[in-house]
Chain A
Amino acid sequence: MLGWFSLVLVAVIMLWLYAIRRSPGATSEARARQVQKRWIIWGGLVLPITSMAVILAFGIPAGHRMLPLPLDEGEVLRINVTAHQWWWEVYYPESDITLKDELHIPAGVPLDLHLTSADVIHSFWVPRLGGKLDMLPGRTNVLRLHADEPGTYRGQCAEFCGTQHAHMKFTVTAHSPEDYQTWLRQEASDE
């Protein structure tokens, strides 16, 4: 997408510059009209319409895959995240674990984050794991998250939420499935 758009940008600019430098020479009225029509139809209609069709053909399925649809088999792991000014409350309903500003997940497994807010609008975002989703008071949005590799990821609030918005961060730790189970047991016994 980036490549094609850069190409369009450069091409349009070059064409303009050429058009400015070019001396038109004498053409008949009818010929001139034909040339003008061609520019407008090809550049103004065909170019944008085909570009958009191509982007949407790729984009809509890509967006569809990111939706929290039910899995073919099994239940999706559910974690509740509630945003506060200016911290994150993470709750695991299945094992009754509560965390602050950190999120532990199994890698390689899709999971659903149920997002809501206790005060103003925030937005949940882990740049390396996917798109962001707003957290609104009174509503719950579901974000499908999928970490391919174990590791630590940085997350932060993406919707301006007041004075300490810049410091509203959290870390996501993705464990391998075995490590995740160990972590769960540990946390549960600590509680």
Chain B
Amino acid sequence: MSNLPDQANCEREERLEHVWANLPGWGALAAVNHTSVGLRFMATGMVFFLIGGVLAMLIRTQLALPEQEIIGASVYNQIFTMHGTVMMFLFAIPVLEGAAMYLVPKMLGTRDLVFPRLSALGYYCYLFGGVIILSSLVFEIAPDAGWFMYTPLSSHTYSPGPGSDFWLLGITFVEISAISAGVELVVSILRTRANGMSLNKMPIFCWYILAMALMIVFGFPPLILGSVLLELERAAGFVFFETVGGGDPLLWQHLFWLFGHPEVYIIFLPAAGIVSTLIPVFARHPLVGYRWIVLGIITMGFISFGLWVHHMFTVGIPQMAQAFFSVASMLVAIPTAIQIFAWLATLWQGKVVYHLPMLWIIGFLVVFVCGGLTGVMLALVPFNWQVHDTHFVVAHMHYVLVGGMLFPLIAGFYYWLPHVSGRMPSDKMGRWGFWLFFGGFNVTFLLMHLTGLLGMPRRIYTYEAGLGWDWLNLVSSIGGFIMAIGVAVIIVDIVLHFRFGRRAEQNPWCADTLEWAIPMPVNAYNFSSLPNITTRHPMWENPELIESIAAGEHGLAEVQNVRRDIYGSDAVTGKVREVVHLPTNSWLPLLTAVVLAVVCISLLIKAYPVALAAALLALVLVLRWGWDNCAHPRAAPVREDDPVDPPLHSRTCDGPGLWGMVVSLMANGTLYVSLLFGWFYLWTAAPQWSSPEQGRVALIPMAMSGVLLSLAVMIYRNAVAGLRKGQADGLTLKLWAAAALGLVHWCVLIWILQTSELQPTELAHDAVLMVALYYLLLHSGLAVIFTILQALRVKLGYVGPELPYEPVVIQPFWVYTFGVFWLSFAAFLLLPMAWGA
């Protein structure tokens, strides 16, 4: 492309702005752009952080002196439960997701995330879910069973009020946003990098986010399943966690910590990613041991799924298991130490320039290493028996979470502020904020280790005088308030800087990553043209990129047919493979989230018919949303001047949609495996497990129904195989046939469910079986609906041999449905028979 004259370039950029900008006024609510959505995530998260902080202040006020009655026991229990819940689920994870959503496309050299409407849906689910959960606090009916909701305390018998329902439903609602962000980030990082950005040239931050996103995909489903089961137990009386009938309260603990431990690393990894990004910039030296760190990130991800039991050392599990999980827990220290020493080596080799973000990084190091070391101590079983559930653990986890997450996050805030505002933060006030916060934090929590060693349990709303805890608690409370002042100073600093900050020059910290090639403050389309990448440090080795990108000298400089276009690239090499056309602003995510909020609220007030109707409406909205894809006139209808090399993604067989489907099915599969785990766990470990004398489900009809499903999948696969070869013979017929067979299979399933004699409120065996059957029913039903819509789309010309994209995306869903059906058949029906015989 030649150098355009200034005037023409301005007009070109105006056209880009026109296509990529949000709608004006209230229309901003329809925004799907990752910059807007990411910033909204972070701003909302900060508000929730302040609310969680106020709750913490209330806790410290109550505990400041012994035998105080400022807050009664029941309100105190609500407050500490909500403090944990808000900080974990409404602050830590969403803020980091927001930061990742904002930064990742900019670092990858592209214009948006790959499923923009999903970003918006995730945001609204998060916002509404958060508001629903917090509303319980206003009515003083907040959950009060602790943020990990141990049954049977959280069950209907011991928590009859709606508090636990708020937690279970609200958190599950919020989790939609986590899963959607997880799927979206994985696919975006793997499939939309700048041309030539192979995996080993990817900024280290994106490696961390890739790991985090994958961990979300595998980590959240067990909690979602647990929440669904517990809510079913509370609302419908199903037996899962009650000992009577064959349930087990420990199943909840396993499901919760299967999620809960990886969650700590889901929080830590992106924060560590910020550290790994900032240190090389301020050391003026490339990150030492890039490969080591990538390896460390991956090992960390794997190990973190193998040590959930260390939260359960005191429930009385076998010694061998304890030794195993104890060693596994300590192993995490290795990848952590590798990162710490790689950062150290980077500082060692480089010449450090000292700025405010560095101060927070040093704060991170001090606090986090301390928390890590107490963590290794906790992994030691006998020590754990002593300090488990004391204030020692409270101190430890605040060191790890505040040290490992909040310090790097604030470092990151200061570092990327100029990117958003175009202004520099103030050094002086920032320092005040840091020292107040850092000092206050250590005053609060360092001594709290001792409080715990002296035997003060956690979660008590008051304590007697004279046990040696008095002065420790008072000092902790004073420290807490100093910390709060620190937060206030930081907020004032950040707010003022938007008005008074010194204007930032381009790339103010002399960073090496691509987000700094974007003009500041940031625009709607990020890059005016999409560059080729040949190095891991593009801004250090090719600083002229700033000018050449702005001048439109690289790819996709011109808007085509008012489409939002980005490049889709190869997952490993980063070579451009297709042009991905993204959807524009849409109200559907907001509408869908509103309807889902209606589902959530009507479940809370037990208006089940309303909930069902709203759920169906949500499904319709989602299908409506999927309708505007591919060759639909509002997406990318077939035109004479469609690009051929690279082609539009909707003309290929391997676009991001397929990747999105596969990653979603990985999350879904984890949910299913968690259910299988629950089945086998209860079967083998529940103290009063019993299975009915004879099978509750008619075996022969079930097998026949499975044969019908298998036939449907075969026909569907045959249709897709034809499409891939470019043949359209009988495509519509095959799709209709698959849908019809699937429908008959679905009806047989319904009949089986109707005629079965399941007693889910009596037996855990039947309750699990029933959930499994409904799970199969849901999947078969969805597969049929998708296929019918595909058949209609073939007729309308949105799908066909030139446009094979969508049927290819749906194929894994059919295969998955087929897989879980036969797996369920074997695990839930055949295996118990074989065992009994």
Contact = CB atoms under 8 A, between A and B. Distances in A.
Interface of A: 1-2, 5, 8-9, 12-13, 15-17, 19-24, 32, 35-36, 39-40, 42-45, 47-49, 51-52, 55-56, 59-60, 62-64, 66-67, 85, 119-121, 123, 125, 127-128, 130-134, 136-139, 141-142, 154, 156-166
B289 A19 contact: no
Contact of B344 (A19, A62, A66, A128): A19
A141 B249 contact: no
Contact of A165 (B348, B382, B385, B460): B460
B771 interface: no
Nearest to A12: B369
B35 interface: no
B209 to A, nearest CB: 22
Contact of A159 (B336, B351, B389): B389
11 contacts: A20-B354, A45-B334, A55-B376, A62-B382, A64-B319, A66-B385, A120-B150, A160-B150, A162-B77, A162-B145, A166-B463
Contact of B330 (A21, A52, A159): A52
A41 B530 CA distance: 39
Interface in B532-569: none
A63 B341 contact: no
Interface string B336-351: 1111111111011111
Contact of B337 (A48, A130, A139): A48
Contacts of B349: 24, 32, 35-36
Nearest to B333: A48
Contacts of B347: 16, 19-20
A83 B350 CA distance: 60
Given A45-B337, A131-B385, A159-B389, A40 B249 contact: no
Given A24-B348, A138-B688, A160 B459 contact: yes
A23 B288 contact: no
A73 B292 CA distance: 55
Given A16-B344, A22-B348, A163-B77, A132 B314 contact: yes
A35 to B, nearest CB: 7
B644 interface: no
A118 B152 CA distance: 11
Contact of B455 (A17, A127, A142): A127
A162 B688 CA distance: 25
Contacts of B688: 138
Contacts of A49: 334
| Range, interface on chain B | 35 or more
B602 interface: no
Nearest to A47: B337
Given A40-B289, A44-B292, A166-B461, A5 B373 contact: yes
Contact of A13 (B338, B366, B386): B366
A191 to B, nearest CB: 31
Given A21-B352, A164-B73, 7 more contacts: A39-B348, A40-B292, A47-B337, A63-B381, A134-B316, A136-B250, A158-B389
Nearest to B348: A19
Interface string B438-457: 00000000000000001101
Contacts of A120: 150, 152-153, 158
Contacts of A22: 348
B592 interface: no
B824 interface: no
Of A8, A21, A36, A42, the most chain B CB neighbours within 10 A belong to A36
Nearest to B373: A5
Interface in B322-369: 322-323, 326-327, 330-331, 333-334, 336-345, 347-352, 354, 358, 362, 365-366, 369
Interface in B376-420: 376-377, 380-386, 388-390
Interface string B293-335: 0001000000000000000001110010011001100110110
A43 B330 contact: no
Contact of B341 (A43, A62, A127, A137): A43
Given A16-B347, A24-B350, A44 B316 contact: no
A159 to B, nearest CB: 6
B153 to A, nearest CB: 4
A36 B345 CA distance: 6
B370 interface: yes
Contacts of B366: 13
Contacts of B146: 160
Nearest to A157: B457
Of A23, A134, A141, A156, the most chain B CB neighbours within 10 A belong to A134
Contacts of A85: 158
A35 B153 contact: no
Contact of B314 (A20, A48, A60, A123): A123
B382 A131 contact: yes
A127 B358 CA distance: 42
Contact of B73 (A125, A132, A138, A166): A166
Contacts of B333: 48, 51-52
Interface in B121-161: 145-146, 150, 152-153, 157-158
Given A44-B334, A56-B326, A133 B365 contact: no
Contacts of B248: 138
Contacts of B339: 44
Interface in B454-502: 454-455, 457-463, 467
B365 A12 contact: yes
A138 B389 contact: no
Contacts of B354: 20
A20 B457 contact: no
Contact of A5 (B152, B351, B376, B385): B376
Pick the 4 closest A-B CB pairs, nearest first: A131-B385, A138-B243, A43-B341, A44-B338
Given A59-B380, A139-B687, A133 B314 contact: yes
Contacts of A52: 327, 330-331, 333, 376
B330 A56 contact: yes
